[in-house]
Amino acid sequence: MPTLLLDRNAVKTLIRMSEVISVVEEAFKMYGEGQVSMTAKTYLSLERGDFRAMSAAIPGCAGVKWVNVHPQNPSLGLPTVMAVLVYSDPETGYPLAIMDATEITAYRTGAAAAIASKHLARGDSRTVGIIGAGYQARTQILALAEFFGPISIKAFDISKVAVDRLMSSLPQFSIRSCSIEEAVASDIVCTLTPSLKPIVKREWIVAGSHINAIGADAPGKQELDPLILKEAIVVVDDLKQASTSGEINVPIQQGAYSIHEVYATLAEIVSGSKQGRTDCRAITVFDSTGVAVTDIAVAKLLFEKAQKRGGYQSVELVGT
């Protein structure tokens, strides 16, 4: 039996944000209903970056993703984040596909934030603040545009080149460069940096805003003033991961925040066991660490599309 090979170009031809949002939302629903199996993300920390192993099974499929984060990579002409995913038959364990998961990671992260925003942001949200204009900024915008529109984007990055690149990659959107204070003063704010200390101050946050805290995805990372968390309605993608490697991890270690103050998981909200936003003036925060069930859901989508289209490479990986 051949193993399908999908490189990054193949994945780019197959992936569509609207479809990713649909399967990611369904994955969170199944997660909330207890229909999935998932291990906690494990880390291998090295001097210049780290690797993460993420595995999960949803009905009909299973897989594992091996993903790195090396912040210095852009200076070497490489992406900060790269990933490979092995997609397997849960009945036999046979590797059905090996695929580049760099785009999968970017798209499912954007989709998760947009789904959180759908439930937690005000319905009339029209301004989006982007803090950190790297590649993930692009998929955040694409995903949010599926639910909110037309949107006006205010982007901040310490690198003007990064903001210019973001603008040129999304000419269909209204994007302007601004200060971090201006970007934070938005209806929806997406923080997308590798910061190890708070860069978003409480006094910059406007009433009724929603924050997608994406950058803090490993122990020691932190983007938000802990005072924001104390006042906000905080929703996480996974309680264990968020408490050890998400936006709330440092405040918990420092005693400035308690895990018991988390309102809900996104899976609980999507599955209907908890409500989303009920107060138009409340500040809401989605602490996103990235969960493997969404990677596998997207991998399933791409595998089935590739099978239907045909013409992709395969290899006899496992001898018989």
The answer to whether residue 197 is catalytic is no
What is the rounded (10 degree) CA torsion for 98, 103, 105, 106? 180
Q: Which of 65, 118, 154, 221 is catalytic?
A: 65
Do the beta carbons of residue 80 and residue 70 sit within 8 Å? yes
CA distance 292 to 302: 15
Gap between the Cα atoms of 117 and 27, Å rounded? 16
How far, in Å, are 62, 84, 132, 252 from residue 89 at the CA level? 6, 17, 38, 39
C-alpha–C-alpha distance, residues 71 and 53, integer Å = 18
**Cα torsion angle, 191, 193, 194, 199, sign:** negative
CA dist 57 and 83 (Å) reads: 18
Task: Give the residue numbers marked as catalytic.
Answer: 65
